[in-house]
Amino acid sequence: MSTLTLTTIQTNLHWEDKPANLRMLEEKIMGILEKTEIVVLPEMFNTGFTMQPEKLAETMEGETVAWMKRVAMEKRVVLLGSFACDTGNATYTNRLVWMLPNGQFGYYDKRHLFAFAGEDQHYTAGNKRLIASVKGWKINLQVCYDLRFPVWARNRSFAPFSADASKGAQDDNIEYDVLIYVANWPERRSHAWKTLLVARAIENQSYVIGVNRVGNDGNAIFHSGDSMVIDPLGELLYTKKDVEDIHTITLDKTQLNAVREKLPFLRDGDAFSIEH
């Protein structure tokens, strides 16, 4: 299919109050009037960016995943966002879940942990990407601080020498059409957020979507949102600052393919591999 319709939800979050967040988000999701195929929530949508996973994390059999499954099924959409996940043995990850309307799901554990806020002291980093597929579109799913590390997001499969990647690093050889970041990115570094989202779109010749929260968190850190949708040339298709907003947008693969065919820059990229 040549189009893909997504809805971004930029919202304030109730600090470490899962029931309140799930009620609030369900109301917003069910209130979407436009026909949509994917709904994108912020990072740690059920708690805010908490450093208390020992208290608040859930397993994949817990309330939050069950909620995602039910809402995705009732709304007939793909639902995605991250939460503090209990992976057993007193280890926790910042886990993004890609929930399909039939109850099947994939997940991605945040690779780059935000040591500046102590995230690395409470969570374990992931080491595998998740490239989801829907209607023939390939979607690379990442979380917040991952945005600062372009190698992890590099769109590489179009390079003629990409097969030279080191043995056993098959997932370095990735191709995608849309790059999505879910975030709790503070306003004090919003310039970096906006600049890096545009850079990822230009260098990877892909659509880029960044979904951030708004409002103050429990540490009195203000978030301005600045959620964005950017086209493969780095042109801004949507953004919203400071206020809650629900926005539905349709992406066009014909435009994406035309950019890559007319400007085949991806073929000139450098060969490299990532050691996990």
pLDDT averaged over 10-residue windows placed end to end, the chain, 276 residues: 95 98 98 98 98 98 98 98 97 98 98 97 97 96 98 78 37 84 98 98 98 98 98 98 98 96 91 71
Burial class of residue 160, CB neighbours in 10 A (0-12, 13-18, 19+):
exposed
C-alpha angle 69-72-73 in degrees, rounded to nearest 5: 85
Is there a contact between 142 and 108 (Cβ–Cβ < 8 Å)? yes
Which active-site residues does the annotation give? 43, 110, 144
CB 225 within 8 A of CB 238: no
CA distance 192 to 147: 10
Structure tokens of 133? 């597929």
What DSSP assignment string belongs to 229-269? EE-TTS-EEEEEESS-EEEEEEEEHHHHHHHHHHS-GGGGP
pTM of the model: 0.94
Could you tell me the CA-to-CA distances from 195 to 171, 213, 256, 258 in Å, in that order?
Answer: 27, 17, 21, 24
pLDDT of residue 164: 38
- Domains along the sequence of the chain with CATH: 3-268 (3.60.110.10)
